[in-house]
Structures are given as structure tokens and as C-alpha cells.
Structure 1
Amino acid sequence: MTSPGNRRKLIEVSIPLEEINAESAREKSIRHGHPSTLHLWWARRPLAAARAVLFAQLVDDPSSDPDLSEDEVKVERERLHDIIRRLVKWENISDERLYAEARAEIMRSTGGNPPAILDPFAGGGTIPLEAQRLGLEAHASDLNPVAVLINKALIEIPPKFAGRPPVFPGAADTKMGDWPRATGLAEDVRRYGAWMRDRAQERIGHLYPQADVPVLGKDREPTGKTEKATVIAWIWARTVTCPNPACGIQMPLVRSWWLGKKKGKEAYVVPTVVDDATVASGRRVAFSIGHDPKRAPTKDDDGTMSGQRGGHCLACETFISAAVAHRQTDVPNEDKPDSALVAVVAEGKRRRIYLEPTAEHLEAARSARLAGLAIRADDTALAPGARGTFGGNAQGRRWGFFAFSDYFTDRQLTALTTFSDLVAEAREQVLKDAHDAGQPEGIRLADGGTEAEAYADAVATYLSQAVSRLSSTNSLLCRWNSAPSKESVSDTFARQALPMVWDYAEGNAFCKGPCDLGWSAGWVAKAIDALPSERVGSAHQADASTRDYTNVIVSTDPPYYDNIGYSDLSDFFYVWLRRSLRPVHPALFSTMLVPKAEELVANSYRHGGKSAAEKFFETGFAHVFGRARQAASADYPITVFYAFKQAELEKEGVVSTGWSTFLEGMIREGWTITATWPVRSERGGRMISVGTNALASSIVLSLRPRPADAPPSSRRAFLAALQQELPAALVDVRQGGVAPVDLAQAAIGPGMAIYSRHSAVLEPDGSRMPVKTALALINQVLDEVQSEAEGELDSDSRFALAWFSQYGWATAAYGEAVVLARAMNTSVEGLAEGGILRSVAGKVNLVRPSDLPGLWDPTADVRISVWEATCHLARILSDEHGGLDAAAPVFAAASTRVDPEAVQALAYRLYTLADSKGSPEARVFNALGGSWAELTSLAREAAPAPGQGAFDFNGDEDN
């Protein structure tokens, strides 16, 4: 077999981007067996995107084969695209035949010797995991020990214990046959997690009393009797003293009174001010439960606090600002006002039961106080510089978070500490059971062991992660989610920060659900069940700026400026992991908190201001990729995921300062940018549009090392090369079905490839052309290329395009249309006969796609145009009775009359023009361009016989 040489890879030419993006977005809703359920990490890249990028990074583009004709290249490229389309589907995640097919392609393109893959910013482990799934040697490193532990759990531990049965007594006998992959290990995590839960309930179960709920009769009315029910959660509200001296009541700070919004089962808290001689003010707020929708809270009276705007006292309506509330709560824990219990949520039959607070439940929470105080006494106060920046959120600087323990109630601290300490006990039990199962002692996991000691360490590692992930649903930053489909405790990290909440939900640690250890261990086990385990990967703690890059190919998702404060956020988990895993992974948990000084994040508080922080990030980033450039292989590109800052996108668009600075840094360090692919991973969200450019949340870059002797170029030569090379590159880009909305960003790749292959592009005055100028020129030439394609259209289509550019769908004078029609060698009457223009009472307008007739037979149309075919196809795809299946036979028929590539090119052009005008039709033209690959594939299968008849766009075919 020949060596890979310098052949272009698929990632550098064309990928089926639309399918990759669709599956990446869909992945957000997948939970069972997804590795993200192993442990939380922020801003994970979708598995589908990483898998596709890695495959395309190593597999040759067919254009690299000189023996293939142009048509053969297209056919072969489409075959490779089809492999990617199947690879990215979640349903195929365990399809070994498909992976064997993908691995064979990789072996063919790499001369039977694929390179090792390294992600030096491994984070949540997506890229190393997908490299391993593709049969590649996977290496992961990160400065953050929580990230390293996650990567060990994904790629390093499962293969070491693959194929082994569980050691928990009796577990191995529960199934016939082998235990493939690491399913035996997963079963032990599940079993010992339940064992830990049972031991914990024996010790602290008294802190979680059941509730007395009314028994209902057959008529659903209360019978006067009660029965015991498991509590799901206790809902609390922080309180402050009313600043009105004449009042002085302890006022609850509540965002919303709603408990459940399911229709017919509405529930909400009803606060009432009552007299109470036992309190200093003589009055207090009592809480009951309401169910009458007519008396439910409205937008005007729901809650007492509204964000940072402040709130009001229920007793005297005195306004209280957030600043005043803060002054009362920003005190050490023992001096804070007590929180008020506002509701108890119990488990009913297929519903939640909401109850008013009782003395029993208040006393249960207070009984945890002594244990909580003991734990708090051992807690280390947050350092002054880190106070509240813990979590990277401004509100974290306030509200009395002096120590880590301040993020938890006494009962939560007691439970999480009990669970953490039980990890060591569980490890000893695993070790005993492994010995009983016949495993020899061996050495520890951290020393490379694979026998009993190492196996006990492995199970303990996953059990500790189950406890750690549980801390995210057992903090006093968890809200009660009243949405009809939820009615449950929300996660601390609803976003990538630690946001302040007024009212919070304290979940029951022994009720099956998001706050329960057995439940958490079950999710961890499901993730292990699905992990590949054929090849052992490696995960190490290392600084990306100092580590070695020899004999590896980089694919990575680095941090971006201050988008996410990883080290600050991960301290939340690190303290729990360290408590239980320091003996298991001593080197990884040697520090009190996560290392921060060397972290490549632009934190202003750490570097003395925003400007200094950004300089630190840019310098460090350049240094990382400078080191990687020194050891880079000329045979393969590296790939880098670039995450946009959303505020920057909205302000500056595709030539944003951060983006151009990023590209400048890469080019300066000796890299040539060969491709840019916009990746979307959001479902149905708003697309940020700036002019004609709609921007994705991140971009995948393909880069190759630039030769040290690369010559400079001039502005004139750069523009000439763009005009010469960009048209062919755009054809290749569109072949993958890149949606028109993404074309401007995808075109940056081939444009920057021209710019960055030179040591510099010089302006006429001899100065170096900056990247920002190059990006503007690429956009300019892209528009020129698309405009030039108009000259190859038929006369009717050229008229319609010119008219649309000026008037859109609006009406204009008949005389204007006559002048333009003559210039385009057509006539207004002919255009009306062709069905694309309406002429009435001296006014003319183009027919919108939605206004076209539902019945159209392209084979019988006496005056068909590319414009007409494009608009008809766009209409079918967007129609509720249409879609791809309806459009395919029409497209097949139309392709016998008009050039399909002209239809595709026009769809892209119309998207750009419609988007610039703010026309809603931009969406339908984008859908047409983005579904091109699938549409053409279906059309080949549905090609109608000659004279088949008309096609009904509403789904009925007229025979």
C-alpha cells in the first residue's frame, strides 16, 4: 500500500454537513447510554460531529486519485458521504459492521497505519472517545483533574476490564453467556451503587421522613384518612427582615409560587400573613396549597422577587432592593436568616402531591444541623480572589457564599458526605468480592494494574462520579421546575455558571429520581454499558502549552476566551471527588482545588483586567499551536473546533475580532487553514444573522503545517487566486449538501487556504494584509462568484433574479418590468405564461413559492425555467403535506428539463438575497439547498416514467 503522502483529505474538500448538524442537534435529546450521563461537563461537542470530523480527517478525498475522472470523483465522494451519514446516526452507535466499514476506509487511506489521535484539551472526552470508537489509538490530556478523570472513565478504564463478569455476589448468574465490552463492570457499578444507597439509608434515613397524604375515595374526594407517602422534595425560600421598621416580618424571597402547571392538576403556594406571638414581629407568613386555576398566581402577583430588580414585602408591600436583601444574607452561615419551608412534594400515583409545611418536616431539617455544622467546620473558606468567582458568575460573589459548604443545606452536606465516605467502604467490599471470585491481588489502578486491587479502584472511580454528579441536584441552587412535563428538582448547572436562586428545592436523597444515589449510579452504569472497549486509550493530566506533540495527530476543542470558567466550575465536583478518590488517584487529586494559574481561560479577576486576560489567552493559545506545529505531520491535517462568543457574533458577524484574531494566531504559528465547517448543535433555536451571513455556534477548522519556505504574495495575486479557485471549491462544498445559511462560513476555508499558504499577503504599500481584510475579500469574491453564475441561467430566470434583487416579492410598475424583460431577451407576457410572474392592472410582481399552484407536471410544462423549478421544489419541501418524499419525484421529473446544478446554485443565491431582505422565504430556500444530497438520492429512486402525469404538491397524484 502507498503511504498517505500529502493527499487532500475529505475534511478539506467536502463533508455532508447538513446531516452532521442535524444529528448533532438531535443528540441533545438523547440520554440513555450517552456518555454525557457519566458526569457533567460543560459545552461538550456532539459525538456525531466528532466522529464525522475524525473520519473525514483521515480518509482521502477522491480528488486525490489522479486515475479518477471528474464524474467518478463525485460518485466516490458521495459513497464516502453516505458512510458519514450512517456513522452520525445515534441508532448506529453500536453497529459493528458499519464501524468495520469505516475502519477499512481509514486503513485504506492511511496505508494500513493510522496515526494516533490526541486531544490536548480533552474536557468531556468526546473526541478521544470517538477516536477510540473508530479503532484509533486515542490520547487525552487536560490540565483539569475532573476532565482527566472523565476521560479515564471513558477511554482508559473500560477496555482494561472488558469481557469480565461482575463480582457482586450472584450478579454474574443473572444472564446467560458472555459479558461483552465493559458490561460486567457496569453491572458492578449498578449493584454497589445500590449497596451504598442502602447503607446510607440505614445511617441517615431518619433525616428524610415520609409525608401524611390524604386518602381519596372513588369520587376523588378526601375520605378524612391519611396514608404515608415518600417525599420527593422540600421547597424552601430564603428570607430577610422587612426593612420597614413598623413591619419587621421575615419576608420570603420567592421567584414564583407555582408548583405544578399540568392542566387539571394545577398547584401553587398560597402565602398568608398570620399573627404569631412567638416571633419578634408578632406576625409571620404561613403557606398553604391552592389548586383552583382561577385563583392561581398571575404575571403581576407571582412571587416576591424579580431577578436583580428587587421585590416586596407580603405584609406591608414595602419595596426591598436586591442590594438590601444582599446585605442581610451576605453573612457567615450561622448568622444568615433561616429559610422558610413553603411546600412539601410527595409521591402520588402518577402525579405529584403538594402539601403545606408541617412541624415534623421542619424538625427533620433542623436535626441535620449538628452534622452539618461539623462538616462546615472542616470546610476551607474560598480564597478572597476566588470568592464567588467560584462558578464564574457575578452573583456568586454575593449572598453569603464564603465557603464551599455554603452551597448546600445541612441535610445535603450530611448526605453527600455520607455517600462520599461510603465509596471507600464499597471499594473494600469490591476487593473482597473480587478475591472471592478468584481474582489475584495485583497492583493498584494508578500503577497500571488490571487485577483485584485495580478492579476495586475502577468501581470506586465510577461510584465516586455517581456521588459527584449527584451533588449537582443536591445543592441549594436547585429550583423546583413547575413545567407540566417536569415537576422535579432542576440541576444546579442549568447553564454554565452557578446562578443565585431565591427559592430552592431540596430533593430526597432516597427517592428514586435525580437526587438518589442508586438512580445516579444507574445512569453511570448505562453510560459504561455503551462504551467501546476494544483498545485501551490513555488520559493524563498535562498542560497543553508544555506537553509533547510528536507522533500524534491533533483533533481538539479548546477553550475560547472566557466563555466558560472550567476550573472554577469544576471545583464544585472536585471537592467531592477528592474526598473519595484521593487514595485511588493520588497524583490526580494532590491539590486542594483544581489548578487555575495555568488554565488557558481569559479570566479577568485572575489576570488583572479584561485586556490582560485576553492577552494571556491569545499568547497561550498561540504557544500551544506553535508547539503542535513543531511536531506536525505533513501527511494529515489537524482539526480544531472553534466556539464563537455569541455577543461577538451578534455585533460583528463573520469578521468578528475574536475569529480573525484566532485565525491570525494560527497562521502566524505556521499553519495553513484548509477548510472551515460551521457546526450547529442547537435544536430549533434562533439563527444569528448578520447581513447575509447566518452564523453557527462553532466552526471546525482543518489546518496543515505551512512549509517554512512559503513565499509571500500580493493583494492582486490573492484576489486573482480567489477568483480562479473559489468557484470550483464551492461546487465541492455544495456537493456535501451544505445549507445556504452556512455557505459563507464554509467558503472561508478555501479562501483562507489561499491566503494562509503564503508567508504573507502584502498590500500595495508593502504592509501585511490582516486576516480581517482577507475575510472581507473572500466574502466579496463569494458574492461575485454567485452573481456570475446568473449569466448561465435561462432568460426567464435571469429576469426573475434581477427583479427579486430590486423588488423582492413586492409589486412595481409594468413599464419597469417591460424594460428589464427586453434587456433579458424575454417578455412580461411570456413570464406570466411561465407561471413565475403576475401582471394585473399595470402592476407586476413575482409569484411567491407559497402562492404557486399545487399541481405541476415539469414534463408537460411548455415554458419551464430554473426559477420556476426552484420555487416549486422549495414550496413542496416546506408544505405540511410535502417534504422530501413528495419533492423527490417532482425533482426527478424537473431534472429532465432543467439543469439540477443550476437549481441548486439558484437556491443558494435566493437564500442570500432573501435573507438580506429579511424575507421569510430565506428559510425555504435554505431548506432546499441543505437537503440537496438527500433529495437527489431519493429522486434517483423515484424517477417517474415519461408521461407519468402531473404531480400534486399537496400529496395527491393525478393519474
Structure 2
Amino acid sequence: MPQTTYRKKLIEVALPLEAINTASAREKSIRHGHPSTLHLWWARRPLAACRAVLFSSLVNDPDDDPMYGHDENVAATERAKLFDLIEELVLWENSNNPKVINAARLEIARSIAANKVADKELADDTPLVANAPELPEEQAKYLPDPPPEYTAHDVRFKMPGLKPEQVNHFLAHYAPPVLDPFAGGGSIPLEAQRLGLRAYASDLNPVPVLINKALIEIPPRFAGQPPVNPEAQQGKLATKVYSGAEGLAEDVSYYGKWMRDEAEKRIGHLYPKVKVTQQMVDDGRPDLEPYIGQELTVIGYVWARTVESPNPAYSGRQVPLTNSFWLCTKKGKWAWVEPEVHGDGYTFKVRRGEPSKEEVSVIKAGTKLGRGSNFGCLLSNQPIQEDHIKAEGMAGRIGQRLMATVAVGKRERVFLDPRTVDEETAFSIERPSEVGAVGAELAKDKRALWCLLYGLTTFDKLYSDRQLLAMQTFAQLIREVREQVAHDAATDKSEIETYADALETYLAFAVSKSADYWSNLCTWRSDPKNLGIGHVFVYQALPMAWDFAECNPFSTSSGSWHKNLSWVISYLRAHNVGSVGLVRQLDAASAAYEAKEAIVSTDPPYYDNIGYSDLSDFFYVWLRSCLNSVHPDLFGTMVTPKSDELIASPYRHDGSSEAARNFFEEGLSEATKRLQAIAANGFPVTVYYAFKQSETTKTGETASTGWETMLTGLIGAGFAITGTWPLRTELGNRMIGSGTNALASSIALVCRPRSTDASMVTRRDFANALRIELPEAIKHLQSGNVAPVDLAQASIGPGMAVFSRYSKVVNADGSPMSVREALQLINQVLDESLVEQESDFDAETRFALRWFEQYGMSEGPFGDAETLAKAMAVSVTGIVESGIAASGAGKVRLLKRDELLPDWAPETDLRLTMWEVAQYLIRSLENDGEAATGTLLARIGSSNGEIARELAYRLYQTCEKKKLAEEARAYNGLVVSWPEIVKLSRQQAKDSNETQAEMF
């Protein structure tokens, strides 16, 4: 029976959203020790956001806490303390800070204890160790010994003598576990474990199941265990005390190095060093003179794919297909490949120096003629059609030609001409005939697996002969590690078998990461910030790389075994082992969960945005090669499960979008019902969702199928939405892509069982309630600085909170209102709300808005401008005098930002408009950065600045409707940067006041 009354949690009342969003966005740039560096997974939620959502879902809002008796003043004080704690908790630097983590665990335990005492589930003086509920043996055996006795009174009053181990014991036994049935990259269960809660994670796909095992299941089993390798048994290391997963990290490091050394013995000769000679210098490379006589370690090889020239005069000649000839674009360090044609043949030469403007355009273009796979023939200068290249690829006739070799110099990359010996070495390898699961076919989804079109249809074809041999060598060595560990460890056989399984698992991640860098889909990155070999998954797709970069596994540069292993080690060393975790491979639509009365928090699949299993097969085939005997239950099939994966992928349903949608809806509905049945009483269910894609119906209506399906599932399962929070997950420069409207935020939906006495209302009643409540919610979102790109998505939450509180909304014809209809009405009210905000704008700005909606930045008839100006109670002359428009020859147009006054002074502008304030702020931001814009805002004034920010929301909406992506980016960027601009503005004002005070 769904409950109808409950104590509100903090997440249902208030959150320090800006602090959470700032930490979440910043986390994208943090690499060392971050779980994302253990293994790639797509659409991984930021740890900061998950930590904050879980914490605030577990602690009472102070106004509804039995400890505080609904005293508003006390509640406000206590809420402020919780905010302060969350602001500390979400910082990456505090991920392993015992003071902050223990404080958070204590607050969670206090809320739970207070509720249990108030609800008479526990007596205040209950000895909690002696009376602790029993845990499943699989979890209990990994918990530390029980702490000294303590009581519920000690916990709820946070008694000074309460020890962290007593709090941890309370959370492990008395707090509900956290369940994430779509665990993916593991952020949610990992953060549940960090907060001291038992974590249950499940997924249908074996790859995320393995990731979650490595994050939450394996580390607690070996917490504090010393390493077994021989080096750790010598000298001072033999008596060192290891905490957390440090011992595991040391063994992964030791045996990973052993693998590298063994691999080099077997295949190291295939990656010879390059000896620099005087002849190389004499051939026009004076930059090589410091290296004469030295043998340089190769970092990688840059190859061009080739096809037969379609010109009959050059029949049989293979010509290169390259996106670019650049090797390095750093100023003063320029390097590129120059093809030299000799009759019916050609060679490649590496050039250094500063290229001319004409040369730059040729270098940048390579042999590419346009978008897609359209190239020019190097020999005949005739176009090579896409169809020809695809036909050659499907026939297996695409070849490769070495363009350059890259070596390690003195704090620089040394680019060398391709050597015949390097090509001969690469082509001398006999391609392995037995490839196992690596020979499996790629899925047939050509929307994301673009390489399929060119004959790369099985996974082994994604590697050159040498790359495939290197991958197989390291995969084989994973299986040999067990013998080394057994030889080195002084412990009984059963224990070392389990430990060897763990070591092989982490070492297999290094092999899997290497697949991402040792494939012929990798490219050479020539930009100074990322100079080196790029990895395959720059996008959520398997691309086609025309000029690809081959990594030397035995260097120490990006993509090498050393680097890939180091990411795994750094994560383990930084890992803070929390409570116990349990991971299972389960189908969420049919699972029988081991967790009962669980706190459900999850990030379900995003309709058809990502084909998780199709992409993860790239890693699965190698993980299976390494671990099929270690985890036979996970790697029993040749590729990952597809038929039951909960995404709407038309190619799996004979191309039918409708059948794909029905499959997704039915599966999600069933999964949601199962979650509702096991959700713990008294705690909300939290669901992360981000889906921007929309479609227009035949009647012209716009809807988002992904959102519609998700919300239909939640509401159909009996949930009401009680809170929504837009969580920014991207840095400012990723807010919106050119020509796209990519989401910057995901929305955290807070759900409760709908009241059993919920009323039924008419469409008119719902619309009236929406028009009363949604505008205020939108203002709240704007004040929280939700990005304009996300405002429509964020508005769904408060709108659906109104819709979902009713048992049914009935249309005029008696039919029940669908979620799609509700979403359309929510979008309509959002538009109305933004239009209503125009009352804050001056008449000139309202004119500019209407003109922009009709003509953009183009010219329009003077008569139209005059009519519009009169309606706004201004004149065209006044508009021009205000400095935002130009008029002449019977035409009127708005001034572009680069046409505005270069020395504009807001202090002396006698006709200041919000339109020009917004445009000058954007120009300053784009040209001079946030600091200069903060200075300008200080001159403009904060009140005018806030109105300009409000205008940016309105203009973004107009740009999106008019499909003006570049202009939309400008308005979105202003809002996203606003908190920092305001901060810098205030600092500027403070510094100015202090300087003035010193003068007097």
C-alpha cells in the first residue's frame, strides 16, 4: 500500500544548487584518481551530484524533523548547517576527507535514528550492536568487527563520544541499502558506499557490471590487505601498514610492469628505435642536429588509409585518404607532412618551419574535398567519390601507407620521415588466424558505428596486424599473471585464487583501455594542448579514421601500456573503501532484486540516445579474452546481450521506430513498477534524466518521446513528482554544440508514491494550476542559473509535479490527458512565462526583441519598423539614437555586436537599454573573458545586469526556434558564466572601495 504521509527530506525542499553544479561541472576536468579513469563508460553522472542527491534524500528537512518540532527559526538554522556541509561534501578535494565524510555519515545516521525513535521502531536506549539486524553472509563477512556498544540516543543526539565506527555500524545495519538497477558507470552506488551505506548495483550489460564490481564489490574484500609481490616483502615495505586499496594498487603496479617486460621480450622488436643520422640533417632537417647519433624511442606512427585511384591512367595505384597533413600546430613548432608526387608514384616528407597562408589551407585539408568520405586523388587531382571508397572498403581493398614516425625528443616530439624499415616491419607480421570473440561482428547500427560503411565489420578489423598482435600478447599475459601471483604469495590456495581474480580484473581494465588507444580508429592530435595519439571514443560512436595513429605500447607517452596501467593504479590508490557492495547482472524489467526496502536512485537509459551494448562490445571482446575464466557468468556470450537492452533502437525492430518505442515503454514501465514495489518507506526515489531530442507531429506539435516515455512510466507506476533539480554536468564550453542543442544538465526527479486520495481534475483546472505555479518555479530555476539550453527540460519537473499530483486529468471530451499533452501544455506555459517577463524590459528592448523574432539581424522595411515602434510607444529615430539599430534607404536593422561602440560607457549613456547591456556584456565575454566582463558589470550595475541576464533567456528561446545555433550559444554562454562574472564584479567593487579608503 503506497504511503500517503511522510517526512520531507531536504531534497524535497531546498538544495545549494549552485555549489553542487559548480562541483559537478569542475569534476569533468579532474582526472587523477577519478573513477572515470578506471574504465570508460558513457553518460556517467558526476560524483558530486550523486553524493549531494543521495545525502539530501536521506536527511530530513529540518522543518519536518522530529528533533526540531517544526520551529521555523531552528529549522532555518539547521538547514543552513546542512547546506554548509553539502558545499563541503561535493568538493572533489573532500572525496576522501574523513572529517567531511564522517560528518555527512553522522547526519544521515542522526536523521534515520530520530525517525526510528519517533516512529517507535527503536527505543532510545536500545543497545544497537547487540540488537543489530543480521546482514546477508556475503556482506557481513566483509564488515569489520563490531564497535563498542552504543544506543539510538547516542546517534540521534550526535553524542560527543560517538565514534565513526559506531556510526558506520549503524548505517550498515539500520539504514536501508541503496539500489541502482541501471548502474552504468557506477557513480551512484560508489557514492552510496562512500556515505557509509550498503550499495546494490545491477545492469544487464557485463561491462558496467564489471566496472561496478571493481568500484564497490572488490575493494572492501581486500581493504587494508598488504601486497603479495616480492618487492613489497623487502626492507621497510615489509612492515608498512596499508589502508584502503593501497595493497591492491601496489600489486597491480608490480604485475602490470611484469606484463610489460614480458611483452617487450616477445614483440618489442616490432617497435624499433630510430637512429638519427647526419644524412637526415643534410636532407633539410637542421632541427634534428641535436639528436645525431642518438636512438630515439618511437611514440607512434601516423598512417594514411589508401584506395586504388579511380582514374584508369593510374590503375592499381593506391592513393592516400587523409583529413589533414598537420603533425603539430603549435606556434614556432609547426610540423606537417608534405606529399611529393613523382610521375605515377609519391612519397611523404616531414616539413618544419612556418608555412605560408596558402600552404596552411592545403595542409589543413589533406586530400579531403568536403564532408563525408569525399577525397581527391593525389596523382590525378580528380575527385574520389564516396561510393568508390565504400565499395573498396566492403571488398577489403583499403590499404595503408606510413606518413610519419613520431619519437620522443628533449621535452618535445620529434617528427621523422617514414622509413622503409618501419613499413616493412609493420607489414611483416602474419595476422593471427585465431582471434576468438575479437572476430565477432559489430552490431548493425550504422547511426553510431560509422566504420561499418567501409568494411570494418568485425572487431579484429579495427586493428592493424601489429596492433592486433600487441593486444593479443597483453591479453595472454593477463592469464599468465595468476601463476606469478601463486608463486609469490605466502597464503593458502583458496585465498590467493580470489585475490588473483581481483588482480586480473584490474589488469584487464588496462588491456581494455589500451584497446581504446591501439586501434586503427585512433587519430593523431596535432593541437598543442593535446599533442599525441587520441583515443577511439571521442564521441559516443565508432568513427572512421582516415589518417590513423598507431601507438608504441612500450613508450611512456599517451596511450602506452605504462600510461593506461597508471590510470588504473592511480584510481586504486585514491579509492576510499566504504561500506560493502554487491553487484549483479540483472535485467531491470524482470529482475528479482536481493535488496528489499531499498533507497532507489538510478540513471536509466536515455531512450535511443546511446546504444550502450553496441558500443561496449568494443571493450567486451577484449575483457572476455582476458577474463572469461575469472568471471564466466559475465563472459559466457560472444558479445553483450542485445535483445533485452532497454533502449529504443529501431534497427533491432526491423527498422520500426514505433516498435522500438513500444519495447522501451513496456520495459521501462515494468522496471519502474518493480522499483516502486521495493522502494523503502519514508525515502524518495530519485531518477536522473536528460533527453533533449524532440520531434514535430503532423499537426505541428512538438514533443520529446524520451521524456514522455520516462514520465509515463513513473506516473503509471503510481509515483508523483515532488521535486526536480537541474544538475549541471558539463563545463561552459560544452553547453551547446554548433548546430545542435546538446544538454548541459540532467534533471534529478524526486518521486514519492502518489497519495491514495489524489483527486481527479479537468484540463482547465490543471492549466489554471500550472499557470499559477509554473511561472514562479521558472523564476526559481533562473535564479539558480539553470542554463537557457536546459530551461525547457528543467521546467518539465515543476510542471509534471502539478500533473502527477492528480489521480487523473480529464480532457473536455472525457478522455484522460496523456503525458504528451501535459508536456505540450507545460511548454506553452513556459513560453507565456518568458513573454510575461518582458514587462521588466524597456520599450526599446521590447522593440528589438520583436524585430529580432521577425528579421533576426537582417534588414527589414522601415514601414514595419515604424508600426512596431509605435506599438511600443517609441519612434524609429529613438531606437536608432539608443544605439541598438541603424536606419537608411528605407530599411532598418539591428546592430551586430561588432558594430557597437568600441568605447561604450554605461555611466554616461543617457538612453541605456537592456538590449545593449546584454550585447555589450556578451561582446566583452567573448573578446576579453570573464574578468573584463565582471569589471563592465560593476560599471553597469547589478540590477541592470540581472535584467540583461533575464533577457538572455528570452533571446536564447528565440534563437532556438529560429535555429540560430551560434547566436544561441552567445546567450547561453552569458548565463552560464554569470556566477563567475558577478563574483568578479563584486571583487572589483570591493578592491575599488578598499583603494579609495586607503587614499583617504
- TM-score bracket, shorter-length normalisation: 0.7 to 0.9
Q: Which residue of 1 aligns with 2:336?
A: 268
Corresponding residue to 1:521 among 538, 561, 565? 565
- Following superposition, the deviation at residue 471 of structure 1 comes to 1.0
State the partner residue of 1:583. 629
- Counterpart amino acid of 1:554? V
* 684, 691, 694: which one aligns with 1:637: 684
Q: 1:704 aligns with which of 728, 752, 766?
A: 752
Residue number in structure 2 paired with 1:416: 471
Give the CA deviation at 1:607: 1.7
Distance 1:434 1:536, change over 3 A: farther
Look up the SS of the partner of 1:111 in the other structure: helix
The 2-side partners of 1:522 and 1:904 are apart by 47
What secondary structure sits across from 1:425 in the alignment?
A: helix
Which aligned pairs between 1:89-128 and structure 2 lie closer than 5 A? Answer: 89-111=91-113, 113-128=174-189
1:730 to 1:12, Cα distance in 2 relative to 1, 3 A: farther
Q: Distance in 1 between matches of 2:643 and 2:525?
A: 37
Q: Which runs of 5+ in 2 are unaligned?
A: 115-173, 875-881, 886-892
Query: Which residue in the other structure is 1:567 paired with?
Result: 613
Q: Does 1:684 align with 2:733?
A: yes
Is 1:674–2:715 an aligned residue pair?
no
Question: Aligned partners of 1:240 and 1:868: how far apart in 2?
Answer: 55
Change (3 A) 1:778 1:585: same
Asked if the contact 1:39–1:469 (Cα under 8 Å) also holds between the matched residues in 2, the reply is: yes
| Pairing 1:226–2:293 present | yes
**Does the 8 Å CA contact 1:677/1:699 hold for their aligned counterparts?**
yes
Among candidates 240, 246, 266, match of residue 183 of structure 1: 246
Matched, 1:620 2:667: yes
Cross-structure match for 2:367: 303
The 5-angstrom pairing of residues 736-775 of structure 1 reads 736=784, 738=786, 742-775=790-823
**Matching residue of 1:829:** none
The range that moved more, 646-655 or 523-532, is: 646-655
Q: Shift of residue 205 of structure 1?
A: 1.0
Amino acid aligned to 2:584: H
Return 582-591 or 243-252, whichever deviates more. 243-252
State the SS of the aligned residue for 1:473: coil
Choose the corresponding residue for 2:273, options 189, 193, 210: 210
**Shift, 1:343, TM fit:** 1.8
- Counterpart in the other structure of 2:451: 395
Give the aligned residue type for 2:34: H
CA contact under 8 A between 1:602 and 1:610: conserved in structure 2? no
Query: 2:325·2:365 contact (CA, 8 Å) conserved in 1?
Result: no
- Decide whether the 8 Å contact of 1:639 with 1:701 is kept in 2: yes
1:156 equivalent to 2:221? Answer no
Q: Does 1:129 align with 2:178?
A: no
Match of 1:373 in 2: 432
One-letter amino acid of the structure 2 residue matched with residue 514 of structure 1:
S
Answer whether contact 1:260 1:483 (CA < 8 A) is retained: yes
Give how far 1:27 is off. Answer: 2.0
8 Å contact kept, 2:918–2:952: no
Give, as a single letter, the amino acid of the residue that structure 1 aligns with 2:466: R
- 1:459-514 CA deviation, whole Å, 9 max, x = no partner? 11101111111011111111111222233111122211211222221111111123
Separation in structure 1 between the aligned mates of residue 831 and residue 232 of structure 2, nearest angstrom:
65
Between the aligned partners of 1:344 and 1:930, the Cα distance in structure 2 is 42
Q: Which amino acid aligns with 2:488?
A: D
The match for 2:153 is: none
2:535 is the counterpart of 1:476: no
Asked if the contact 2:437–2:625 (Cα under 8 Å) also holds between the matched residues in 1, the reply is: no
Matched-pair contact (CA < 8 Å) for 2:437–2:638: no
Greater CA deviation, 802-811 or 415-424?
Answer: 802-811
Alpha-carbon deviation of 1:924? 9.8
Task: Confirm whether residue 201 of structure 1 aligns to residue 260 of structure 2.
Answer: no
Q: Is the 8 A contact 1:676 1:745 kept in 2?
A: no
Alignment map for 1:630-669 (pairs within 5 Å): 630-646=677-693, 655-669=703-717
Report the alpha carbon displacement of residue 558 of structure 1 after superposing the two structures with TM. 1.5
Cα distance, 1:937–1:111 mapped onto 2, change above 3 Å? farther
Q: Is the 8 A contact 1:197 1:517 kept in 2?
A: yes
Q: TM-score of the superposition, structure 1-length normalised? A: 0.81
Q: In 1, are the aligned partners of 2:520 and 2:549 still within 8 Å (CA)? A: yes
1:323 to 365, 387, 403: 387
SS in structure 2 at match of 1:564: coil
Matched, 1:351 2:412: yes
CA RMSD of aligned residues (A): 5.0
The separation in 2 between residues aligned to 1:876 and 1:264, in whole angstroms, is: 29
Q: Deviations over 1:767-804 (max 9, x none)?
A: 1122233234334555666787899x8xxx88788777
Number of positions where the alignment pairs a residue of Structure 1 with one of Structure 2: 905
1:480–1:489 Cα contact (<8 Å) kept: yes
Letter in 1 for 2:418: P
Provide the residue aligned with 1:8 in structure 2: 8
Deviations 1:243-268 (A, max 9, x none): 32322142233222222222222222
Query: How far apart in 2 are the matches of 1:558 and 1:913?
Result: 32
Task: Give the C-alpha shift of residue 647 in structure 1.
Answer: 6.6
- Provide Cα deviations, 1:587-628, integer angstroms capped at 9, x if missing partner: 111222211121112222222113222221222111111221
- C-alpha deviations, 1:380-412, integer Å up to 9, x for none? 7545xx5554994143143253x3221111211
Q: Which digits, 9 at most, give the CA deviation of each residue in 1:825-880, with x for residues without a partner?
A: xxxxxxxxxx9999xxxxxx9999999999999xxxxx999999999999999986
Distance change (3 Å), C-alpha of 1:649 and 1:674 = farther
- 1:598 corresponds to which letter in structure 2? D
Q: Return the alpha-carbon distance in structure 2 between the equivalents of residues 582 and 7 of structure 1.
A: 48
Contact 1:391 1:498 in 2 (8 A): no
- What is the CA–CA distance in structure 2 between the aligned matches of 1:105 and 1:649, rounded to whole Å? 48
The verdict on how the C-alpha distance between 1:387 and 1:916 changes in structure 2, with shifts beyond 3 A counting, is closer
1:211-241 per-residue CA deviation (whole Å, 9 max, x = no partner) reads 1224679985748953311111122222222
Q: Is the 8 A contact 1:55 1:102 kept in 2?
A: yes
Alignment match of 1:80 (pick from 72, 79, 82)? 82
Pair 1:595–1:776, CA change in 2 (3 A): closer
Aligned-pair identity in percent equals 44
Which letter maps to 2:326?
W
Letter in 2 for 1:506: E
**Partner Cα distance (2:546, 2:953) in 1:** 46
> Cα–Cα, structure 1 residues 667 and 326, in superposed 2: closer, same or farther, change >3 Å?
same
1:247 to 314, 329, 336: 314
The CA deviation at 1:677 is 2.7
CA distance in 2, matches of 1:107, 1:500: 52
Partner Cα separation in structure 1 for residue 873 and residue 647 of structure 2:
58
Q: Alpha-carbon deviation of 1:720?
A: 3.6
**Which region of structure 1 is more displaced relative to structure 2, 532-541 or 218-227?**
218-227
Q: Which amino acid aligns with 2:252?
A: V
Q: For residue 483 of structure 2, what is the aligned residue in structure 1?
A: 428
- Paired with 2:232 and 2:473, the residues of 1 have a C-alpha distance of 25
SS across alignment from 1:81: helix
Contact 1:671–1:704 (CA<8 Å) still a contact in 2?
Answer: yes
Distance in 2, Cα, partners of 1:220 & 1:747: 59
Shift of 1:667: 1.5
Shift of 1:579: 1.7
Q: CA deviation at 1:101?
A: 2.4
Contact 2:653-2:660 at 8 Å conserved across structures: yes
**Contact 1:309/1:322 (CA < 8 Å) preserved in 2?**
yes
The offset of 1:35, in angstroms, is 0.9
Greater shift after overlay, 554-563 or 108-117?
108-117
* 1:391–1:565 contact (8 Å) kept in structure 2: no
What TM-score does the superposition give when structure 2 sets the normalisation length? 0.78
